[in-house]
Amino acid sequence: MHGRAKSLNRETQGNGDSFNMRVKSHFSSKSLIAQQAVTWIREGMIIALDASSTCWYLAKQLPDINITIFTNSIRICHQLSKKKNIQLISSGGVLHRKYACYINSSLITQLKNLEIDLFIFSCDGIDANGDLWDSNIDNAQFKEINPNSA
């Protein structure tokens, strides 16, 4: 990633759609994206997933193989808790119920201790400078991690 993640509206927190709304929106497209993403995953990988509904669809489709998943999503944690071979690491923190994600000020420190092979996330848009945009500031901060600095 060359850009940075930014909130579409830093003054108004919580202006994005809830997880429950997002999971029902474009579900067939999200499932197809998840099917493609599964083909990128190999045994032994360390993968970071954001709290997006697309990543939740991916979690549902992940094979029960020896991989490590790091996420800030309570829904993904619940989904992957059923798979015995997947090591699951949650960011923990304060639960933001609307977005079904944990807010944690030490998130960047946690990620620096992992050697992430693949970070899968969604965002509201990407501008000409390569900056990612998200409707929620907390989700934007999770995606702001630059693998070159972590």
Q: 41-144 is classed in which CATH architecture?
A: 3-Layer(aba) Sandwich (3.40)
- The pTM (predicted TM-score) of the whole model is 0.78
SS3 label, residue 57: helix
Domain ranges of the chain: 41-144
- Strand intervals (E) in the chain: 5-7, 46-49, 67-71, 86-90, 94-96, 101-103, 118-120, 125-126, 132-134
Count Cα neighbours of 107 within 13 Å in the Cβ-side half-sphere. Answer: 26
* 73-126 confidence digits (pLDDT tens): 999 999 999 999 999 999 899 998 988 889 887 877 787 788 999 999 877 777
Phi first, then psi, for residue 29 (nearest 5°) are -65, -40
* 31-81 confidence digits (pLDDT tens): 898 999 999 999 999 999 998 889 999 999 999 999 999 999 999 999 999
